[in-house]
C-alpha cells in the first residue's frame, strides 16, 4: 500500500521501521537534527508540514500538520530556537527526492532553506543515506 508523504501514515511507518528494520537504523545512524519540512501544494489542495527531532539516529518526535491551502504554514515564522532548519518546497520536489528521481544537490536548487545550513551540511552524508533508504518505500503520488 502506498504511503502519503507527510501524512499520518508516514509517521507510523517511520516509527515502525526504526524499531524493526536494521537497514533503516543503519541509514539513520548518528543523525542528530531538528528539522521542519514544509510541503506546499500537496495533493488535495493541502499544505503539509513534518517537524522531526532526530537524536543519535532515532526519531524522538515526529509531528505532522496538514491544512487546506493556502495555509498559515506558508507564512508562519521559522522558530530557530526549536529547530535547526526548515526546508520548504512544492510537494512534487519532496516526492521526487524520496523516490530517488532527483539527488540532494539538485533538490537544493528547488527548495528554500532557513536556519543552520552548516549543521545541515555537516550531516549531509547521513541525510543522503536516509533519502536513499526512503526511495525503497512505495510513496503515493
Residue 18 sits in a domain whose CATH number is 3.30.1050.10
Question: Which residues, in sequence order, are CB contacts of 117 under 8 Å at separation 6+?
Answer: 85
Assign 114 a pLDDT band (cuts: 50, 70, 90): very high
Domain annotation covers residue 2: no
Domain annotation covers residue 139: no
Assign 117 a pLDDT band (cuts: 50, 70, 90): confident
Domain annotation covers residue 1: no
Percent of the chain with pLDDT over 70: 100
φ, ψ for residue 128 (rounded to 5)?
Answer: -65, -45
Q: How many CA atoms lie within 13 A of 134 on its CB side?
A: 27
pLDDT digits over 49-101, tens only?
Answer: 999 999 999 999 999 999 999 999 999 999 999 999 999 999 999 999 999 99
Domain annotation covers residue 99: yes
Domain annotation covers residue 18: yes
Q: Per residue in 22-50, is it b (16+ CB within 10 Å) or e — as a string?
A: eebeebbeebebbbbbbbbbbeeebbbbb
What is the average pLDDT across 117-135?
88
Assign 127 a pLDDT band (cuts: 50, 70, 90): confident
Domain annotation covers residue 71: yes
pLDDT score recorded for residue 7? 87
Q: How many CB atoms lie within 10 A of CB 6?
A: 23
Q: Is the pLDDT of residue 124 over 90?
A: no
Assign 109 a pLDDT band (cuts: 50, 70, 90): very high
Task: Read off the pTM.
Answer: 0.91
Domain annotation covers residue 50: yes
pLDDT score recorded for residue 132? 87
Structural domains of the chain, count: 1
Amino acid at each position: 500500500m502506498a504511503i502519503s508523504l507527510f501524512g499520518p501514515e508516514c509517521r507510523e511507518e517511520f516509527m515502525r521501521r526504526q524499531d524493526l528494520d536494521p537497514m533503516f537504523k543503519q541509514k539513520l545512524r548518528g543523525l542528530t537534527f531538528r528539522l521542519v519540512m514544509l510541503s506546499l501544494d500537496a495533493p488535495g489542495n493541502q499544505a503539509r508540514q513534518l517537524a522531526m527531532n532526530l537524536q543519535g539516529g532515532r526519531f524522538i518526535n515526529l509531528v505532522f500538520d496538514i491544512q487546506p491551502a493556502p495555509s498559515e504554514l506558508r507564512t508562519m515564522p521559522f522558530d530557530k530556537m526549536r529547530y535547526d532548519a526548515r526546508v520548504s518546497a512544492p510537494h512534487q520536489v519532496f516526492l521526487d527526492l524520496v523516490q530517488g528521481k532527483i539527488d540532494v544537490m539538485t533538490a537544493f536548487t528547488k527548495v528554500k532553506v532557513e536556519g543552520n545550513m552548516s549543521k545541515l551540511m555537516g550531516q549531509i552524508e547521513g541525510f543522503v543515506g536516509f533519502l536513499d533508504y526512503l526511495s525503497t518505500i512505495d510513496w503515493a503520488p
